[in-house]
Copies of this chain bind each other. A is one copy, B any other.
Amino acid sequence: MTLADVAEASGVSATTASLVLSGRARELRISEAVERRVRATAHELGYRRNTLSVGLRTGRSQTIGFISDTVASSGLAGDMIRGAVEAAHRRGFMVFVGESGGDPVVERALVEAMHDRRVDGIVFAAMYTREVALPEGLHDGPAVLLNATSVSRSTVHSVVPDEVQAGRSAARVVVEAGHRSGVHLIGAGPGVDDIPPNSTAAVERLVGLREVFEAAGVEVVSAQRCPKWMPEDGYAATREVLRHHRPGVLVCFNDRLAFGAYQALGEAGLSVPDDVSVVGFDDHPIASWLRPRLTTVALPHHELGVRAVEVLLGLFERRRRGDRTPVVHRVPMPVREGGSVAPPRTADRAR
């Protein structure tokens, strides 16, 4: 079923058929009668455009690429890809997915393989927020960084979660519950340099937390820096806190740390949230499985994927207008209320 077949069957030239089927009939004065006839036979014959051919001719393939460093077993990555794929599909685009494992050689190869297939643009995603070096060749076409910013000055747009705001939100949850003391941080701090290496999330969350805590006059009793943010680290850090203190609030820098904290608190016979309030970040699936459910500030993975694609597709327009100023798009991180935060026990209560 080619355009020629449709043209012949409706008794017109291929040109006419093409004009009709690409919606330019009005513009180029094809009569309504002919237009209807062509559409009808095309439908009848089950004609579908060969996107390869169109791409060859027009240079646009209705296709974008999505390259991530690690899909990670976290599953959050999956949501990001899903958001991207859905947003693309909504606009008639298909998505090539590639994974580099962080290897620059593979990155380069993926970018080239995608350009070989004439993708209209590429989303380059990091699975945890950080600065990345742009792979060679990414500049040959439109590109958007997802969950990452570029180390070098460049003309590339970024889409990132608004981690500073997330830090503020988490702190506000604690403050609004009435806590003014007994607050401990699990995962980073107290200084803004006391973070796992390369973790933009850590430093920004910390900035937001400190900003609100200081403004509200909340004392941060201790901060446990963890090199990794896995459950066992949260477990160990919480044990450490319990050796010296009787905490009222644990602000965990992610939900896996919080999971470990729950285990340590449980072993110590402390109840969440009656004895200790716990707040997390990420809205990892684990958050909703904990008992009580964890109150956490969500990484909007799906929304991040959607936004990245929208920004990318928007770039096509902007490029045409010659606008090349890079923008950092920050996606809000919403608070998901669980049952893990309660007012302080009467003795500690503020006011």
CB contacts under 8 Å to B, within A57-113, are 61, 63, 66, 71-79, 81-82, 85-86, 89, 94-99, 110, 112-113
Q: Whole-angstrom distance between the alpha carbons of A52 and B54 in the complex?
A: 9
Say whether, besides A75-B74, A77-B78, A113-B94, A50 and B118 are in contact (CB < 8 Å): yes
Q: Is A263 positioned at the interface, with any CB of B under 8 Å from its CB?
A: yes
Q: Is A124 positioned at the interface, with any CB of B under 8 Å from its CB?
A: no
Q: Whole-angstrom distance between the alpha carbons of A116 and B256 in the complex?
A: 43
Q: Give every chain B residue within 8 A of A286 (Cβ-Cβ).
A: 286, 289
Q: Is A20 positioned at the interface, with any CB of B under 8 Å from its CB?
A: no
Say whether, besides A116-B51, A117-B52, A73 and B78 are in contact (CB < 8 Å): yes
A291's nearest neighbour on chain B, judged by CB, is: B263
Q: Which of B48, B55, B81, B95 contacts A71 (CB 8 A)?
A: B81
Say whether, besides A52-B61, A56-B56, A94 and B114 are in contact (CB < 8 Å): yes
- Render A327-338 as a binary contact track against B, CB cut-off 8 A, 1 for contact: 000000000000
Q: Whole-angstrom distance between the alpha carbons of A230 and B291 in the complex?
A: 13
A16 CB to nearest B CB, Å: 22
CB contacts under 8 Å to B, within A243-299, are 256, 259, 263, 266, 285-286, 289, 291
Name A residues whose Cβ lies closer than 8 Å to a Cβ of B: 48-53, 55-56, 61, 63, 66, 71-79, 81-82, 85-86, 89, 94-99, 110, 112-118, 230-231, 235, 256, 259, 263, 266, 285-286, 289, 291
25 sampled A-B residue pairs with Cβ under 8 A: A48-B112, A48-B115, A50-B56, A50-B116, A50-B118, A51-B116, A51-B118, A63-B117, A66-B97, A73-B75, A73-B285, A74-B75, A74-B285, A75-B285, A78-B78, A81-B81, A81-B97, A82-B99, A85-B98, A89-B98, A89-B110, A94-B113, A95-B97, A96-B97, A256-B289
